[in-house]
Structure 1
Amino acid sequence: MRRAASAASGPEPAPVDGSTTETHAIRRYLLPSETCAIAVRRHWAIIIGPLAITVSGIAFLALLLWYFTSANLIVRYGVWPVGTGLLLWCSGHILTWRNDYFIVTDKRIILATGLIGRRVNMLPLTQVTDMSYRRSPGGRLLGHGTFVMESAGQDQPLKEVEFVPRPDAVYLKVCDQLFGPNVD
């Protein structure tokens, strides 16, 4: 029975060179006939903003606790819910980042985002008319870039994909899927 269920779901995708995600994490997004070329989690720099806000907020709350005497009950007991809220907010951003995937297969480009509300955007490789990527100075320093894809349609959900790690290698892999490995 177990063998029949696994055979019905198709072959398991093999681990991919250059991928930074586990195979089981992306399996649900792949068609049985697809081959995964690369699957990466978005770059960790995407959570720098929430981390900086949380650390600054916690430092400010600690300063409030230190500055005001323990007799000030509003500050003393008001700091804890605010600090807890900051930590939960930051944790949500980290968990969302851990569940964001940029996947390139032999048939399409997929961006899966979200933690509670999941959003999966897809662009068939045959629809891609132009593709480029750019790297800001910060992106060059940290190792991420932004992919810009053009297709024949007006509204496309995958026009820009930010915080793609190792954009040089990912770009070459996408070009390999678009044009084939033996392009001169």
Structure 2
Amino acid sequence: MAINPKYLNPGEQVVWSTRTHVKALVMPVLVLLVTVGFAGYLSSLPDDNKPTWFGIIWGVTILVNIIWGLIPFLNWFGSTYTVTDRRLTTHKGVLTRSGHDIPLTRISDVSYQKGVLDRILGCGTLIVSDASEQGRVELPDVPNVEKRQLALSDLLFHGSKADDGS
């Protein structure tokens, strides 16, 4: 389960809970592979000032991997979407956490969008329309978005608490 049970009210049951699709980690992994490979290549070149260049090369590599590798991973790991029998809740952040709840009684429509890459990878954007001033909340990169949308629609319009099998 992607949500911490301490965020649930007494008697509240999770219908589904997930993180964003793992595709969010493709770029951080590519950055890691390219920078470490490039740094390794540069470190192997002969040079009279090798200790100085070695420190600079690997210092920049570590900094780049923290900014474009570790931080996106921590953001992915710390972000969850959860539907319970009472509400839709999102939590995100590592050092500073934030959350957003929409009671199911306020949700008026649930839909999804999928681009070509999303169709290949089996994810998409879940769009929830509610009666608030915001009017619409988009949850990007939801895995198995069709199943999640059907489970949420079934819960909203038929009161079923059946899990979507994920």
Say which of 58, 76, 87 aligns to 1:97.
76
Q: Please state how far the C-alpha of 1:32 moved relative to its aligned partner.
A: 1.0
* CA distance in structure 1 between the aligned counterparts of 2:28 and 2:158, rounded to whole angstroms: 40
Contact 2:31 2:65 in 1 (8 A): no
Are positions 1:56 and 2:34 aligned together? Answer: yes
Say which of 112, 122, 127 aligns to 1:148.
127
Q: SS of the counterpart of 1:159? A: strand
Q: What's 1:173 paired with?
A: 151
- Runs of 5+ in structure 2 lacking a partner? 161-166
Q: How does 1:121-160 map to 2 (within 5 A)?
A: 121-155=100-134, 159-160=137-138
Q: Which amino acid aligns with 1:137?
A: V
Q: After the TM superposition, which parts of structure 1 deviate over 6 Å for at least 4 consecutive aligned residues?
A: none
Q: Which amino acid aligns with 2:72?
A: H
Q: What's 2:164 paired with?
A: none
User: TM-score, structure 1 length as denominator?
Assistant: 0.75
Q: Please state how far the C-alpha of 1:91 moved relative to its aligned partner.
A: 2.7
* CA distance in structure 2 between the aligned counterparts of 1:153 and 1:83, rounded to whole angstroms: 45
Q: How does 1:26-41 map to 2 (within 5 A)?
A: 26-41=4-19
Distance verdict in 2 for CA 1:71–1:174, change over 3 Å: same
Q: Please state how far the C-alpha of 1:72 moved relative to its aligned partner.
A: 4.7
* CA distance in structure 2 between the aligned counterparts of 1:149 and 1:166, rounded to whole angstroms: 16
Q: Which amino acid aligns with 1:82?
A: V
Say which of 62, 65, 79 aligns to 2:57.
79
RMSD over aligned Cα, in angstroms?
2.2
Contact 2:128 2:138 in 1 (8 A): yes
Once the two structures are superposed, residues 62-82 of structure 1 have per-residue CA deviations (whole angstroms, 9 ceiling, x without a partner) of: 333234625255422201212
- Runs of 5+ in structure 1 lacking a partner? 1-20
User: TM-score, structure 2 length as denominator?
Assistant: 0.83
Once the two structures are superposed, residues 90-134 of structure 1 have per-residue CA deviations (whole angstroms, 9 ceiling, x without a partner) of: 233323322321100111101111111111111111111222101
Q: What's 2:88 paired with?
A: 109
Distance verdict in 2 for CA 1:68–1:117, change over 3 Å: farther
